[in-house]
Amino acid sequence: MTIKILNIVPSYFPATVYGGVIFSSHFTNALLTKNYKNLIVTVSTSTANGKKRLYTKNRIIFKKKNYIIKYYYDEIINRISISFIKNIFNDIKNNSIIHFQDIFSTFAIVGIIFASILNKKIIISPRGVLSNWSFKSKYTLMKKIIFYIFFKKKNYYWHVTSEIERKDLTELGIKKRVFTIPNIIDDKILKISGKLLKKNSSYVVGCLSRYDKKKGIDSLVESFDFLNKKFILIIAGPDFGYKNRIENLIQYKRLEKRVFLYNNLNARNKEKFFNTIDLLALPSHNENFGNVFLESLKRGKPILTSNFTPFYNVSKFKCGVNCDINSKKISEAIIKIHKKNKNTLKRNAIEYSKNFDSNKIIKKYYLMYGTIYKKN
């Protein structure tokens, strides 16, 4: 039984500026096609990479015999690709299951129209965009119109990465045909010595995230008003229009000597980042999964999260803490973790991360595709 799957997504690896979803989608497809030779996965995407493009023309990359990535040149980055529109009908026609990794884009809308015309089996991964936070943040009316016209149909299947995201669907009236399978991250951890900066404090808090209002970085920075000078903060990630706000906040609070900002990190500097920090903190207003939390736990680093992430139970497993998105509460949580034994935190973090074993997760993806394929 050969199952042919088409992933439709506006951007794809190595367009890493978009964060965890890009990595997870690629690692998932790579492991799936490695472990299950009866799966043929094709990805139809664009050349978008933030404000730049990965390639200057259409390009097909054969990763291996059963894993194909097609990059369509987008005339307007992140918006329009004429070659995608011209070719996606045939891409859909030649596959059995069409898996959408996006909703609010022209790529998803065009794809869903053609997939419906061809009566294909459709599975949708919202990737957090159907949360209350997402609907309320911007383009609320437009998002609701797109969702109710093109996506809220009973014959679609849905994939969510956590129970929090499943709850988002339930609130929208989608209760059936939902598969809950967490993200996969790369298990390879580089062993690199050295520091991102001189560790001139006894305790370093790190935040690895895009600069985005959703991430609660402003509340994290403000929390250092309540902490003494032995606590410093390192923030690193791509700018999604919010970095200037953080820079101004740091200056206003006179935290220039204790809060340091970096751009997006490559793999080696990312390892130096994790080697440097004692705690990863990201008090997001909403996360459908949050790959960076799992990356930190696998490295034995405790985490601080808000109550709106899937890792809200780290306090129970004694490898972190979750708290309200409030600067005073965040500072109290940082002090609480600081007082814990580092070796115990490290041991608990690594043990907790084993709940996200890649091989077990990949099997769930395979069973999901197999179940959908066999349905009438």
The pLDDT tens digits for 333-353 are: 999 999 999 999 999 999 999
> Quick one: what percent of the chain has pLDDT higher than 90?
75
- Give, in degrees to the nearest 5, the angle at Cα 247 between 243 and 248: 120
pLDDT of 193 over the 60 cut: no
Q: Which tens digits make up the pLDDT trace of 271-295?
A: 999 999 999 999 999 898 999 999 9
Residues 15/49, Cβ–Cβ less than 8 Å: yes
Q: How far is CA 37 from the centre of its chain?
A: 27
Kindly provide the residue ranges of all beta strands, DSSP E only, lying in the chain, ordered along the sequence. 3-8, 39-46, 48-49, 52-53, 59-64, 67-72, 97-100, 121-124, 157-160, 178-180, 203-208, 231-236, 259-262, 279-282, 303-306, 320-323
Q: Which tens digits make up the pLDDT trace of 145-184?
A: 999 998 888 789 999 999 999 999 999 999 999 999 999 9
Binning pLDDT at 50, 70 and 90, where does residue 114 land? very high
- Give, in degrees to the nearest 5, the angle at Cα 58 between 52 and 59: 100
Instruction: In whole angstroms, give the CA distance from residue 130 to residue 135.
Output: 7
pLDDT of 195 over the 70 cut: no
| pLDDT of the residue at 157 | 97
**154: Cβ contacts below 8 Å, ≥ 6 apart:** 176
Taking the CA atoms of residue 225, residue 231, residue 232 and residue 238 in that order, the dihedral angle to the nearest 10 degrees is -80
Assess whether the region 3-180 and the region 203-355 belong to the same CATH fold: yes
Kindly provide the residue ranges of all beta strands, DSSP E only, lying in 135-213, ordered along the sequence. 157-160, 178-180, 203-208
| pLDDT of the residue at 178 | 96
> Quick one: what percent of the chain has pLDDT higher than 70?
97
Count other C-beta atoms under 10 Å from residue 57's C-beta. Answer: 10
Count other C-beta atoms under 10 Å from residue 108's C-beta. Answer: 21
Mean of all residue pLDDT scores within the chain: 91
Taking the CA atoms of residue 198, residue 202, residue 203 and residue 204 in that order, the dihedral angle to the nearest 10 degrees is 0
The pair of three-digit structure tokens given for residue 6, joined into one six-digit string: 């088409």
Reported CATH class of domain 3-180: alpha beta
Helix pair 82-93, 106-117: axis angle to 10 deg: 30
Q: Which tens digits make up the pLDDT trace of 223-274?
A: 999 999 999 999 999 998 899 999 999 999 999 999 999 998 888 899 999 9
For the domain covering 203-355, report its CATH number. Answer: 3.40.50.2000
pLDDT of 189 over the 80 cut: no
Of the candidates 92, 26, 93, 98, which has an alpha carbon nearest to the alpha carbon of residue 63? 26
Helix (H, G, I), strand (E, B) or coil at 305: strand
Taking the CA atoms of residue 248, residue 249, residue 251 and residue 256 in that order, the dihedral angle to the nearest 10 degrees is -120
Domain boundaries, the chain: 3-180, 203-355
Helix pair 20-35, 358-374: axis angle to 10 deg: 70
**Token pair 């990465």 is at which residue?**
161
Q: Which tens digits make up the pLDDT trace of 13-70?
A: 998 778 778 888 999 999 999 999 999 999 999 999 988 899 989 999 877 789 999 9
Residues 114/140, Cβ–Cβ less than 8 Å: no
Region of 174 please: left (phi>0), alpha (psi -120 to 50) or beta. Answer: beta
Distances in whole angstroms, Cα of residue 121 to Cα of each of 216, 372, 374: 38, 7, 10
Taking the CA atoms of residue 281, residue 287, residue 288 and residue 292 in that order, the dihedral angle to the nearest 10 degrees is -30
| Single pTM value for the model | 0.90
The pLDDT of 107-113, averaged and rounded, is: 95
Burial class (CB in 10 A: 0-12, 13-18, 19+), 14: exposed
| pLDDT of the residue at 32 | 95
Instruction: In whole angstroms, give the CA distance from residue 208 to residue 292.
Output: 7
